[in-house]
Amino acid sequence: MSFALSRNVAAFLLIGTLVAPGSVLPARAETSLQAPVVAEKADKDDVSSFHLENGLEVVVIPDHRAPVVTHMLWYHVGSADEEPGKSGIAHFFEHLMFKATKTYPAGEFSRKVAEIGGQENAFTSYDYTAFYQQVAPQALEMVMTYEADRMENLILNEDVVKTERDVVLEERRSRTDSDPAALLAEEVNATLYQNHPYRMPVIGWLHEMQQLNLKDALAFYQKYYTPNNATLVVSGDVDLATVKALTEKTYGKVPRRAEPGNRQRPQEPEQNTKRTVSMADPRVSQPSFQKMWLVPSYTSAKPGEAEALDLLSEILGGSSRSRIYQALVVQDGSAANAGAYYQGGSLDAGSFGIYGSPRGSATLTDVEAGIDAQIARIIKDGVTADELEKARNRFLKSMIFARDSQSSMARIYGSTLSTGQTIKDIQEWPDRIRAVKVQDIQDVAKRYLVDSRSVTSYLMPEDGKPDQKIEGETPASGETQQPEPPAQGVIQ
């Protein structure tokens, strides 16, 4: 427990903002990740990549401003790759990777990193599982030695499985089962995705987590924790030649154990209904709603569509300058908070969402209708060239901020390469954002934001209804919040 928690706290500080399909994250942080960017063409040559003979892909992103390196190993396996009935195994396995190996006792790797003032953590999402450390450059070989070792030499037995299963079960209890918003989010995903495994929670369904066993763990390790199923990203104060030499010396010794094959998951059927998912719980004080649509991701979209969806979310509800925020929070004051987001950083289908909370005498229904009206306006009249230009600039600027951190850069490259895109896709992304036209915004809004194919969720106080005024608990007039959808993060 304490081990898991301390890892989680560190991860939240360092990672905190990863994108997962179906999860809800602050719109700003989210776009900085799903939509990877290199700000200037001049930087393109800085990123190199190569493959070791065992199939491990290595990406090097030099940044010599500070004597720090970020080392992130991304396995191309996440909860959406789990077998039916085995939900939670990907995240469970992330935990098991911190156990003893044939070479080193449990905890030694973490202790070594801590001793030199480094940071480390790991996280699991729908499409990937990643392990990272941030250390001084001279410690890179040490980190690679331990990380390569646990790719091959992990000791799995009944004892470690039982112990760590209790840890993840407790994690589920404290993060999900005790939180109405988290429980609602699970059922929203299970409703939004009718066939795709994104429907299942990353942490797993409780009754399936309880059954995870040694046999499952061994099979998972064997199939997925093989060098040809991973991408190593090293960013920071390091050069290509050093990384080449060090990876050959460490990871290069790990044999290719399996061929995981194509990542073919069951895809969504055509959706033809409007759905709602409601929860009323005494622990809820501030009512809120969300409406979600299945839309293409950067990987699955036709050229230009994902970029247009990103800018549509920016114009509609990505910041306090957005249409939704200006109309509902600033002008008519019906919402304490409202916005829109696009989650396009997944291997399969992505999602587009709007959200809001009422203020004063307004109800959830009022806020929903107010946002719907903003969508209807864009579908009918489109956006202006000036509005698009400003949104594009805000958007690109936020990407430049993301680029300023070596760990953000490592996350951008790692998550993007783990979800079916290429380094070229990442590098050309700003140009593709620049190419989006006014008409493209209206087109994707019209094509995808169709009310009769949406899933709306309502989170309410006990006995609440969407059209019911909530007394006394909403922020007083004047108290508004920055647009920020309820958090439901990647799992560490």
Residues taking part in catalysis = 94
- The DSSP symbol for 491 reads B
The answer to the question of residue 175 lying near its own copies (CB under 8 A) is: no
- 208 vs 332, beta carbon nearer its own copies: 208
Task: Candidates 183, 379, 438, 450: give the one binding its own copies (CB under 8 A).
Answer: 183
Taking the C-alpha atoms of residue 181 and residue 489, their distance in angstroms, rounded to an integer, is 12
CB of 85 to its own copies, least distance (A): 4
The residues pairing with 134 across neighbouring beta strands, listed in sequence order, are: 70, 119
- 8 vs 211, beta carbon nearer its own copies: 211
- 2 vs 264, beta carbon nearer its own copies: 264
The answer to the question of residue 452 lying near its own copies (CB under 8 A) is: yes
Query: What's the Cα-to-Cα distance from 219 to each of 201, 226, 245, rounded to whole Å?
Result: 21, 12, 31
Task: Candidates 273, 381, 424, 479: give the one binding its own copies (CB under 8 A).
Answer: 273
Q: Using alpha carbons, select from 430, 263, 429, 229 the residue that is nearest to residue 347.
A: 263
Distance between start and end Cα atoms, the chain: 13
Q: Using alpha carbons, select from 417, 310, 400 the residue that is nearest to residue 43.
A: 400
Taking the C-alpha atoms of residue 436 and residue 441, their distance in angstroms, rounded to an integer, is 8
The answer to the question of residue 482 lying near its own copies (CB under 8 A) is: no
Binding residue count for its own copies, defined by CB under 8 A:
35
Cβ contacts of 389 within 8 Å, gap of 6 or more? none
- 178 vs 482, beta carbon nearer its own copies: 178
The angle subtended at Cα 289 by Cα 209 and Cα 321, nearest 5°, is: 120
Per-residue HEC secondary structure of 368-382 comes to HHHHHHHHHHHHHHC
Using CB under 8 A, which of the segments 92-100, 133-141, 183-191, 288-296 binds its own copies? 183-191
Could you tell me where the beta strands, DSSP code E, fall in 296-345?
335-343
The answer to the question of residue 276 lying near its own copies (CB under 8 A) is: yes
Using CB under 8 A, which of the segments 33-41, 55-63, 187-195, 305-313 binds its own copies? 187-195
Segment holding 48, helix H or strand E: strand 48-51
The answer to the question of residue 265 lying near its own copies (CB under 8 A) is: yes
Which two tokens mark 248? 């050959």
Question: Binding to its own copies (CB under 8 A): which residues in 128-147?
Answer: none
Taking the C-alpha atoms of residue 310 and residue 314, their distance in angstroms, rounded to an integer, is 6
Give the side-chain half-sphere CA count within 13 A for 449: 28
CB of 199 to its own copies, least distance (A): 7
The answer to the question of residue 174 lying near its own copies (CB under 8 A) is: no
Three-state SS for 61?
Answer: strand
By the 10 Å C-beta count (0-12 exposed, 13-18 middle, 19+ buried), 357 is classed as buried
Taking the C-alpha atoms of residue 13 and residue 366, their distance in angstroms, rounded to an integer, is 36
Using CB under 8 A, which of the segments 135-143, 258-266, 374-382, 474-482 binds its own copies? 258-266
- 141 vs 187, beta carbon nearer its own copies: 187
Using CB under 8 A, which of the segments 13-21, 236-244, 277-285, 442-450 binds its own copies? 277-285
Taking the C-alpha atoms of residue 425 and residue 433, their distance in angstroms, rounded to an integer, is 12
The answer to the question of residue 262 lying near its own copies (CB under 8 A) is: no
- 242 vs 276, beta carbon nearer its own copies: 276
Site string for its own copies, 51-90 (x = CB under 8 A): ---------------------------------xx-x---
Site string for its own copies, 382-411 (x = CB under 8 A): ------------------------------
Inter-residue contact 81 to 220 (CB < 8 Å): no
CB of 147 to its own copies, least distance (A): 32
CB of 139 to its own copies, least distance (A): 42
The answer to the question of residue 206 lying near its own copies (CB under 8 A) is: yes
- 2 vs 262, beta carbon nearer its own copies: 262
The answer to the question of residue 379 lying near its own copies (CB under 8 A) is: no
The answer to the question of residue 465 lying near its own copies (CB under 8 A) is: no
Task: Candidates 272, 302, 476, 479: give the one binding its own copies (CB under 8 A).
Answer: 272
Which two tokens mark 305? 């569509």
Please give the order of strands across the beta sheet that includes 335-343. Answer: 335-343, 350-358, 288-295, 455-460
Which residues in this chain contact its own copies in the complex, by CB under 8 A? Answer: 84-85, 87, 183-184, 186-187, 190-191, 194-195, 197, 199-200, 205-208, 264-267, 269-280, 452
